[in-house]
Amino acid sequence: MNTVRDGARDAVPVVIGYVTLGLAAGMLLSAAGLAWWWAPAWSLVIYSGTMQMLLVPLAAAGEPLAAIAASAAFVSGRHVFYGLGFPLDRVRGNRLARLYAVHAITDEVYALLASKDRLAMSGRYVLTVEALSHSAWISGTTVGALAGAGLASVVGERIELLGFVLTALFVVLAIENWRSHPDPAVLVLGLCAGGVALATGGSAALLSALGVLAAGLVALYAWRRRGSRGAEPLPAADPPTPDPGSAALEPRSGSC
């Protein structure tokens, strides 16, 4: 996982999902009566699929900036946790490249990179995956906004159902991650976090689930680290050093 070709190959599932989901986001924007150029502008700066879809009705209704900011904090607050596991150390040298690597990390990109060997990834590979995924999202939302009402009439009134492609993409990434790193304890933590999200509901569901998952993973890591230390074998004791005085008193062979 060192070349641009490797990154392009592994980014294909995310690219397909982002183009399809971006079409839905662009159609929602056009149906709300907003200008088409808002799609690439938001996709370039915000780059959060969930927040962009939520921003459409908020902007169309003329909600105050404080309400939009609070919604963004709840919906996109999960990105704070990505810094715990994102392989930013693989992107070296250029400061602008590192800043873009932070900006372009999303749910799907993070899930894809987390399923790979961290030490085997190069900065070029990471940036290729991110740039292609970001480009696919911008292209999808722009085409969807330009197509507008014509494309929406083909899909139907319930165009938000296209958002299921995001769920399908996560399922595929979860299966791939399980094949690479099967861990029943982590699976149980994920199911518990999902249960917390369903119980919480609303815009805080995802953030609360990620909080539970992060706390559980930290506790699991600490417990396993402590267990591995306790299971380490004790070092072998050094053989006793012979006493020169006692050796002189020992009978020698052939002596009377």
Which ranges of the chain have pLDDT less than 50? 246-249, 251-256
Can you read off the two tokens belonging to residue 109? 């990109």
Burial class, 156, CB count within 10 angstroms (exposed 0-12 / middle 13-18 / buried 19+): exposed
Global pTM?
A: 0.63
- Measured distance CA(26)–CA(29) in Å, rounded: 5
Two structure tokens written together for 74: 């709840």
Q: Which pLDDT value is given to residue 254?
A: 46
Do 20 and 165 meet the contact criterion of CB atoms below 8 Å apart?
A: yes
Distances (CA, A) of 68 to 28, 59, 60, 104, 241: 18, 8, 12, 21, 76
- Domain assignments of the chain as residue spans, ordered by start: 4-169, 183-229
Residue 217 has a pLDDT of: 87
Quote the CA–CA distance of 181 and 175 in Å, as a whole number. Answer: 10
